[in-house]
Structure 1
Amino acid sequence: MKEITANMAGTVLNVMVAAGDTVSEGQEVLMLESMKMEIPVESQGAGNVAEVKVNIGDFVNEGDVLLVLE
């Protein structure tokens, strides 16, 4: 299991993957908004999405787990 975490605090604007999806390293999986800027979150590894832990509109802090890969 590999956890993808937020690299900064912000609001979840878009979730581009769902449980069961296959992702590759470097693929954009989420979009955060912070200080009126859109910040893409990329997968730090390849694998299948086991669980998405956030929803659009959620506020996350730096280091919060966004999704889990298996």
Structure 2
Amino acid sequence: MAEVHAEMVANVWKIVVSEGDAVEEGDTLVILESMKMEIPVLAEDAGTVAQLKVAEGDVVQEGDLIAVIE
């Protein structure tokens, strides 16, 4: 199991995957927006998206859990 966390304070601009989706290492899970820059959040391991802990429009803080990959 791998947890994916936010690296900075940002808005969740777009969610690219859904729970149950298979992902490979390096696939984009979510796109964050901060100071008009788009920041992709990537899968660190291959697996299945078990949980998405954010919704589009949410504000995440540094360290917040974004997704769980099993």
Task: Tell me the TM-score normalised to structure 2 length.
Answer: 0.96
1:67 maps to 2:55: no
Q: CA RMSD in A?
A: 0.6
- Report % sequence identity: 50
How far off is 1:43 after superposition? 0.7
Residue 47 of structure 2: aligned partner: 47
Residue 16 of structure 1: aligned partner: 16
How far off is 1:8 after superposition? 1.1
How far off is 1:7 after superposition? 1.3
State the AA in 1 paired with 2:29.
Answer: V
Residue 3 of structure 2: aligned partner: 3
- For structure 1, the 5+ residue unaligned runs are none
Equivalenced residues, count: 70
How far off is 1:40 after superposition? 0.7
1:27 maps to 2:35: no
Quote the Cα distance in structure 1 between the aligned partners of 2:69 and 2:13.
Answer: 20
